[in-house]
Amino acid sequence: MNIVATSEGRKIIRMSPNAFLDLCSILQQDGGLLPTQWVTVEEQVTKTLYILTHNVRNREIQIWFQRTGEATSRHFPRVLRSIIEIWRTYLKQHDESYIPVEILRNNQFDPYFKDCIGAIDCTHVRIKVPFIEASRYRGRKSFPTQNVLVACSFD
């Protein structure tokens, strides 16, 4: 069975299997990520997502995936380069001369934020987790939450 399709796999990659496979396909077709003789694109992306989302070290990847540390050290930058290769397709940049109306019309913000193109909001979103894990996600609130950092436009 493919690990991505299991509940343990969802904890590792933190996305649905379909979204994961779409990401792998995009990274392969548009980002130039290629499988190696022994490692598929899916495994390379899984290892990279696991490192990024769980802040683990190479040693843990070696144990989990039964690969050498040298292999992981080669795959991680390859996946990152592929992600960088596709950013223009999926990230919209504003024209530098554009100033949001919310700033332009407000004298309190205009001189200080005239080069700002968006806002960052850090918020806690209520989540459902198994009862056993709920205490790990409990903060100031009486229910489990996940901290989310969002960059957005003013509208």
Look at residue 96 and tell me if it is in a domain.
no
Residues in Cβ contact with 144 at an 8 Å cutoff, skipping those fewer than 6 apart: 126, 127, 128, 129, 133, 134, 137, 138
Give residue 118's domain range: 101-152
* Residue whose tokens read 């990230």: 91
Residue 136 lies in a domain: yes
pTM reported for the whole predicted model: 0.59
| Residue 95 within any structural domain of the chain | no
Question: Could you list the mean pLDDT of each consecutive 10-residue stretch along the chain, which spans 155 residues?
Answer: 60 81 93 91 89 82 83 89 88 66 72 64 76 78 76 62
Say yes or no: 51 and 16 in one domain: yes
Same domain, 8 and 30: yes
